[in-house]
Structure 1
Amino acid sequence: MQLLFIGQIIGVVSASALLLFLLARLWPRRGPGMRCQGYAVLITGCDSGFGHMLAVALDRRGFTVFAGCLQPEAAGAQSLTRLCTSRLRILKLDVTSEQDVQLARKTVQDNLPEKGLWAVVNNAGISDWAEIEWSSSQDFQNMLNVNLMGGIRTSIALLPLVRVAKGRMVFVSSIFSFFTCLNMAAYSVSKRGLEAFADCLRVEMASFGVKVSIIQPGNFGQATDIVKVKTDEEIWARLDEERKHTFNRSYIELANQYFTSSCRSGSGSAAPVVQAMVHALTSARPRSRYLLVPPTELILFRLLPLLPTALTDAFFSLSSMYSTRRRLLYTQ
């Protein structure tokens, strides 16, 4: 009887989620149409990837773009000056540095176009993968300092300018903010924290007419250089003797092969992510969240946050990777 009741609940939740999803897709939205000239946008993490491509797209739309780059003299940043108009300005911006953030704010404030700072796009981020026991607390701290605290530092510094323009705050998160899997603990913690910050900010900023959006890309490993490639030897060398006994060499090789192949199976085009960012910045009705996964996976990722933990945890047991992991770790 209890199992039947649980099944009925799951059925109702699934049907409701599907209905909400269809309504959200069918409900008419005004497309991007704001006049971008005279407004500025600050983007962090423009050296490469999503930030680099967004800077080019916004420059072509007429925005004044402040492109925050970790290495302003490197090839990625310099290519922006060739691809974009004179409206684009490169800023040295390490989001882990309070000094860099404050200098960026001053530069932006001193060089704003007539309509002010329309938006901040918190895009800068790093990625790494490792099981929790392969990591140190410093590994977690490094991830949090960029992915979470970097967004918080930049937002707090620039919010007064965005409030004046009644503009937008955009945060680049990930499906790993709610999708739990092996090897992504530090990254998931940083992105879940970033979304919590953005959610709180959205509620507070509503009083000022500032809209807040979260971008949740799926696997775009081929389209960006955020994925960190490791060798089996590098992973093995970091483990102490106790963990080498638990996480044997065979499993290390399997995990590395699995992670690498998963990244290579991701989308090779960042266009959907950049389009979502542009919509969040320019639409009269931006979404609170933009989930960017293949259509075949969309319903699954919509449902996951609504399902009971027991079900979502059981979902992973269906993967051959998990069964092989259990066999390798418990038979040594």
Structure 2
Amino acid sequence: MQVKIRTDLDLLQRCLMIILWSAVTSYILSFLKWDFHTWNQMFLVVGLGASLVQSSLQLDIEDKSVLITGCDTGFGLVLAKHLHALGFKVFAGCLLADSDGAGATELRSIGGPDLHVIQLDVTKSEDWSNASVYIKEHLSTASAGLWGLVNNAGWATFGDVEWVSMSNFNKAMNINVNGVILGAKHMLPLLRKSKGRIVTITSGLGRFAVPTRSPYVASKYALEGFLDCLRYEMKSFGVSVSLLEPGNYIAGTNIFNEKFVMSQAELMWSEMSDEVKQVYGKDYFNKKVEVMRSYMNNGTKDISPVINSYTDALLDVFPQVRYQPMDLYFKVRCIIATHMPEKVYEILYL
């Protein structure tokens, strides 16, 4: 057991909710017994103290092993190196492992007995089966099973509903949702043995929607629903299921770059019917494309909050259901979207 003092916005939100709850409850109880300040002080001491302790206690790494998907680039590549440096046995799933992709090559160059690069296309059941066999063969003898499954692989595109092809809608659902379902089905036998963790990245856009992102948003909303069901089902087995809902880290992950945005835009325009082109017009279309290009530079470049949240979800003694590595803008936006009338969100953000 170890202690890690947290200072993130998740803890701040939790403390503010305790303060609010304490004030309301103390006011009501003051009519029955004692005064407001007595009740309020008692609730604040107990509530804030418990919250701080709950967020600070972490497990020792010991012989824990973790499988991470999507380690070719971005979060997955950085996380694999980070967890390996901490002392985890890491199985890094790469889409391009068999074809010597840049990410797989970089991870292999690190070497060592506790970093394994494996071929893993999350949409292929055969790859998951092979990964399961490989992991069983390479788990340490002291390990009860696989401690963590980190579902990091994902795919995103953009465009209004009438612009996006069904193949792109299907691709988003297949990678972002079906890939996670396949992973759960194949890895749960190993995770149940260790009473381990499933940690999955969704998005802030799994909590609130925005225009021109329907393929991505639809897949993330579906993923949130699936993971809630899985979390309820796994409680009796001692397997924790946590979600990461990050803000805008496009600038730090290169999930969208100039080449990708422009190629998607050209493909969408070329595949649109004449009627759709006429209704929307090229000027409107170009404005939407420019918005996506702006996201590449306006997001947070420092991805360490996401890496820290992944690590916390794997090690917290009391893992949160949702970790939200967001800046203050997205944190407030998420609270407004999920706790206030829809009209308020539309007025402020759309």
Give the alignment's TM-score, normalised by structure 2.
0.81
Structure 2: unaligned runs, 5 residues or longer: 1-12, 21-46
Q: Does 1:97 align with 2:124?
A: yes
2:222 aligned residue:
193
How far residue 306 of structure 1 moved from its aligned partner, in angstroms, is 1.7
TM-aligned CA distance change 1:40 to 1:177, over 3 Å = same
Q: Does 1:282 align with 2:315?
A: yes
2:297 aligned residue:
264
CA contact (8 A) 1:120 1:168 kept: yes
TM-aligned CA distance change 1:51 to 1:22, over 3 Å = farther
Q: Matches of residues 33-72 of structure 1 in structure 2 within 5 Å?
A: 33-72=58-97
Q: Does 1:304 align with 2:337?
A: yes
CA contact (8 A) 2:336 2:345 kept: no
- The size of the alignment, in residue pairs, is 302
CA offset digits 1:49-70 (Å, max 9, x no partner): 1111111111111111110000
2:134 aligned residue:
107
- 1-structure distance, mates of 2:111, 2:310: 18
Classify the secondary structure of the residue corresponding to 2:245: strand
CA contact (8 A) 1:17 1:302 kept: no
TM-aligned CA distance change 1:22 to 1:210, over 3 Å = farther
Q: Which amino acid aligns with 2:346?
A: D
TM-aligned CA distance change 1:144 to 1:21, over 3 Å = farther
CA contact (8 A) 2:68 2:91 kept: yes
Q: Does 1:143 align with 2:185?
A: no
How far residue 17 of structure 1 moved from its aligned partner, in angstroms, is 9.1
- 2-structure distance, mates of 1:130, 1:84: 41
CA contact (8 A) 1:219 1:263 kept: no
- 2-structure distance, mates of 1:22, 1:61: 35
2:232 aligned residue:
203
- 2-structure distance, mates of 1:30, 1:38: 23
CA contact (8 A) 1:177 1:192 kept: yes
Q: Does 1:226 align with 2:223?
A: no
TM-aligned CA distance change 1:54 to 1:17, over 3 Å = closer
TM-aligned CA distance change 1:118 to 1:249, over 3 Å = same
How far residue 32 of structure 1 moved from its aligned partner, in angstroms, is 5.9
Q: Does 1:273 align with 2:298?
A: no
Of residues 17, 20, 33 in structure 2, which corresponds to 1:20? 17
Give the alignment's TM-score, normalised by structure 1.
0.85
How far residue 25 of structure 1 moved from its aligned partner, in angstroms, is 8.2
CA contact (8 A) 2:192 2:237 kept: yes
TM-aligned CA distance change 1:38 to 1:268, over 3 Å = same
How far residue 84 of structure 1 moved from its aligned partner, in angstroms, is 5.4
- 1-structure distance, mates of 2:48, 2:281: 47
CA offset digits 1:79-117 (Å, max 9, x no partner): 112235331101100011111111111111121112121
- 2-structure distance, mates of 1:131, 1:96: 25
Classify the secondary structure of the residue corresponding to 2:162: helix
Of residues 187, 191, 207 in structure 2, which corresponds to 1:162? 191
CA contact (8 A) 1:123 1:172 kept: yes
State the percentage of identical aligned residues: 33
- 2-structure distance, mates of 1:237, 1:190: 25
1:327 aligned residue:
none
TM-aligned CA distance change 1:196 to 1:21, over 3 Å = farther
CA contact (8 A) 1:59 1:84 kept: no
How far residue 41 of structure 1 moved from its aligned partner, in angstroms, is 0.4
Q: Which amino acid aligns with 2:17?
A: L
CA contact (8 A) 1:59 1:85 kept: no
Q: Does 1:131 align with 2:164?
A: no
- 2-structure distance, mates of 1:155, 1:297: 29
Q: Does 1:251 align with 2:248?
A: no
Classify the secondary structure of the residue corresponding to 1:181: coil
Of residues 157, 171, 174 in structure 1, which corresponds to 2:200? 171
Q: Which amino acid aligns with 2:254?
A: D
- 2-structure distance, mates of 1:256, 1:33: 44
- 2-structure distance, mates of 1:25, 1:216: 24
